[in-house]
Structure 1
């Protein structure tokens, strides 16, 4: 019993040290004011600066590479990675799809986050939206309606619609997060078999959102965006209840 209790503690301590080393490497990048694309010191220099062995350092570097903090170019060295949300999207997609096998909690939470982002920020976007931007949103809706009339899915037009809604905010981080949640949302959508819904009705929902935005009705726009996510939330609940 005593021996079995020691092993988890040792593992915990090792993981704690690795996380601390990863934090130290990120602090070193910040302290040296390195930018995306800048080279990092060599492994030997990092080992000396951080006071750790090469093997331990390499473990942390691999984790940071997976997290998108740095990239390792074999034969060239290590560099501060450019902005990349692919790892985040992949991780959230996996967690969401995995949760569908149980109670679907994480999948539902991901839908909640996307819903909160869109319904919460639409008012601010309406405040600064130009006539040209509004026209592009309407064009995306028209495309969805055309495809729905032919019985064709409109995934790209749907994604464009939601992206254009928040383009007026000119917030690159928001755009990246929206893209992440869209990718996650679409994967979950396919996983639960929600690709065969009433396309005409879905296009009509987007038309109603556009109309509210065009009227600069912030309250109605937010309310309609909230309702927009009810369908997939209900479908997730049905799937995990089976």
Structure 2
């Protein structure tokens, strides 16, 4: 009996590989037909004919592509090429980070490392393209955070917008979306760990220091201040889970 059931796993893995291959074929078809965001996809029948597979297989592949943000299925209307969407990525990263908190917190720490490297690494380029209008908006957000901190009020919305506005001069939509993804994942991890900023005033002051370095076009100082801004969450994760293991 055990020998009869042994091939089940390879068959399942083979089906998964075929499904992934079909997903790639559908994405290639979108590109080959020069479809753009919002354009209708071929019907299920047309996809079956073009790709040589059954309707149920096509439907399964389309559901996965919808979860990945490649297509949008509108029931009663059809399937369309989806606009850029990062909700699934944010949910996945947040889940992995939260799950890792139960097993050493390694992936949660990696998330902090990536966001720190991304922001600190690009701040110099953003400074080069910073206009007076950008600086005015950053200062307004700092003043808003300082006012809320003085009143003992959380300023997470202004905090998120400050980090987004830091990199607005780059006109990089992918970067903006990734920053929002990281922020969303961080927010869930913060709730999971009960993380609270020790001092609202200190947090607001850190943003003031970042702004001043950006305003003065001191790239090295700005990068150091942006980088050190993430020390709080890293210290908190270390306190919860212990330092990350050192690679041999």
Tell me the TM-score range normalised by the shorter chain. Answer: over 0.9
> Which digits, 9 at most, give the CA deviation of each residue in 1:148-198, with x for residues without a partner?
111111001101110111111111111111111111112112221112521
Q: Distance in 2 between matches of 1:212 and 1:4?
A: 65
Dislocated runs of 4+, deviation >6 Å: none
Query: What is the CA distance between 1:67 and its match in structure 2?
Result: 0.8
* Counterparts of 2:112 and 2:106, CA distance in 1: 10
Deviation at 1:240, TM superposition (A): 2.4
What is residue 66 of structure 2 aligned with on the other side? Answer: 65
Q: Give the structure 2 partner of residue 183 of structure 1.
A: 184
CA-CA distance at 1:137 after TM superposition: 0.5
- Residue equivalent to 1:109: 110
What CA RMSD, in Å, does the superposition of the two structures yield over aligned residues? 1.2
| Secondary structure, aligned partner of 1:100 | helix
Moved more, 196-205 or 48-57: 196-205
The 5-angstrom pairing of residues 7-156 of structure 1 reads 7-156=8-157
TM-score by length of 1: 0.96
C-alpha distance 228-3 of structure 1, shift in aligned 2 (>3 A): farther
Compute the TM-score of the two structures, normalised by the length of structure 2: 0.94
1:157-168 matched pairs, under 5 angstroms: 157-168=158-169
Q: How far off its partner does 1:105 sit? A: 1.1
Q: Say if 1:4 and 1:220 are closer, same or farther in 2 by CA, change over 3 A.
A: farther
Displacement of 1:74:
1.1
Match of 1:203 in 2: 204
The answer for unaligned runs of 5 or more in structure 2 is 243-248
- 1:221 corresponds to: 222
